[in-house]
Amino acid sequence: MNTNTFKAPWGKALRWMSAGSSLIILAATIPRSLTIAPDYLRWLMVLPLLLLPAAALFIIRSYSIEPNTLAIQRLMWTTRLPLSGLQSAELIPGAMRRSLRLCGNGGLFSFTGWYRSRALGNYRAFVTDLTQTVVLRFPQRIIVVSPEKPGQFVAEISQFAFRTT
């Protein structure tokens, strides 16, 4: 990995929530699938198991600072966010505290989607560690990420602040 790529380490909360959610899904699904039921209903009983691989696709592996772009590597694709108009990048541990999830994933392999809090307003999260969050402020949006070495990440991505290209 080059110096502009930062891993996305899993914090304690994400590890516990992912493990607990997975166990609940498995415990609720497997006994039902073994019951005697018509074939056309049996697949419905196993349907919750599909949540696990679907959520796993959204795992955040790393963040890369590319020319004027923040690339968020997922399991099978990359989400690219333009950095033009970046006003500030700030390390705010626990920035997602007391947030309301509007739409997205609240802890099954990641904290991703659209959230709202009094402190930040509406924002988009791409987070794996709730204790090491970096807030990126743009004129019309706020992004929250959780890279490894957040101080170094802030220093490197801040080079794009106030650029218009």
DSSP per position, 101-134? EEEEEESSS-EEEEEEETTTEEEEEEES-TTS-E
| Cα–Cα dist 77/71, whole Å | 10
Task: Spell out the domain ranges in the chain.
Answer: 1-165
Cβ atoms of residues 94 and 130 within 8 Å: yes
Q: What is the pLDDT of residue 165?
A: 46
Other Cβ atoms less than 10 A from the Cβ of 78: the count is: 13
Single pTM value for the model? 0.86
SS3 96: coil
Other Cβ atoms less than 10 A from the Cβ of 28: the count is: 12
Q: What is the pLDDT along the chain (165 residues), one digit of tens a residue?
A: 445 999 999 999 999 999 999 888 888 776 655 666 676 666 777 777 888 888 899 999 999 998 889 999 999 999 999 999 999 999 999 999 999 999 999 889 999 999 999 999 999 999 999 999 999 999 999 999 999 999 999 999 988 766 544
Q: What is the pLDDT of residue 46?
A: 73
Q: What is the pLDDT of residue 91?
A: 96
Q: What is the pLDDT of residue 74?
A: 95
Is the Cα torsion angle 157, 137, 11, 52 positive or negative in sign?
Answer: negative
**What is the bridge-based pairing of β-strands 78-82 and 121-127?**
unpaired
